[in-house]
């Protein structure tokens, strides 16, 4: 035993080292009997622990279900309330890519542009900036109409007056205020649409069938794309 099973027979070797065979046999049998008695007890303890562990996991899983539902509700709430943050981050990435593409197109156009073409670019640059501002105002006006958020010069008008305690009169006055705001917002949107189209028509040029003008047209499209992204980013 001391040779084959050193990990558990060390106690037996110590106890039988200086004894005769009869005493050693009794000692070994006593140890074996004790082990045989301890094995069922250990098995019973293991079974008891398994039952307790199963009960614990059952109770824990039962308690986890409401917690998981609450976590899902909180996650949906956070996602709903942070949609604008996600949208802003995505727009920043798109804007950075658009700026990089626009810069690459501008450098390519600069290398092959003639003096006349480059002067056309310098002439249209401030006009494109004005178009960007008016286009941004147009998009903001659309959002204001969509969410019923008129500008201050419209929202300051309120026809509600404490003339009578009649609820019917109050309802009519509030409806009058709402109709006024709706019509004023429609005119406001029409004016911004007109200015945006007017500015857009003012910068339209006839592109010639030339490599420089083709490259300039490509650069102008990328610049317009960047302006649209900047206008969309200003809405959030």
pLDDT in tens, 13-57: 666 666 666 776 777 788 778 878 888 888 888 888 888 888 877
pLDDT at 137 over 80: no
pLDDT at 2 over 50: no
Give me the mean pLDDT over the 111-133 stretch: 82
Share the mean pLDDT of the chain: 74
Q: CA–CA separation, 144 vs 31, rounded Å? A: 90
CB 102 within 8 A of CB 222: yes
Q: What is the pLDDT of residue 13?
A: 62
Q: Return the percent helix, strand and coil in the chain, to nearest 5.
A: 85, 0, 15
Give me the mean pLDDT over the 168-196 stretch: 71
Q: What pTM does this model have?
A: 0.50
Q: CA–CA separation, 121 vs 128, rounded Å? A: 10
Sequence-ordered alpha helix ranges (H) in 162-236: 167-202, 211-233
- Percent share of the chain, pLDDT over 70: 69
């Amino acid at each position: 035993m001391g040779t084959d099973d050193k990990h558990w027979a060390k106690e037996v070797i110590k106890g039988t080292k200086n004894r005769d065979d009869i005493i050693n046999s009794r000692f070994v049998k006593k140890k074996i009997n004790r082990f045989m008695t301890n094995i069922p007890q250990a098995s019973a303890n293991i079974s008891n622990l398994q039952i307790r562990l199963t009960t614990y996991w059952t109770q824990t899983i039962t308690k986890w279900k409401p917690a998981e539902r609450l976590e899902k509700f909180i996650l949906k709430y956070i996602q709903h309330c942070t949609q604008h943050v996600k949208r802003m981050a995505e727009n920043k990435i798109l804007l950075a890519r658009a700026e990089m593409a626009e810069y690459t197109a501008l450098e390519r156009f600069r290398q092959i542009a003639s003096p006349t073409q480059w002067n056309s670019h310098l002439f249209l640059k401030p006009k494109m900036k004005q178009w960007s501002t008016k286009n941004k105002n147009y998009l903001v006006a659309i959002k204001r109409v969509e969410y019923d958020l008129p500008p201050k010069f419209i929202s300051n008008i309120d026809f509600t007056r404490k003339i009578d305690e009649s609820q019917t009169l109050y309802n009519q006055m509030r409806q009058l205020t709402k109709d006024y705001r709706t019509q004023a917002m429609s005119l406001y949107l029409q004016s911004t649409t007109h200015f945006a189209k007017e500015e857009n028509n003012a910068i339209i040029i006839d592109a010639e069938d030339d490599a420089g003008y083709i490259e300039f047209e490509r650069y102008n499209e990328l610049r317009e794309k960047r302006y649209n992204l900047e206008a969309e980013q200003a809405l959030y």
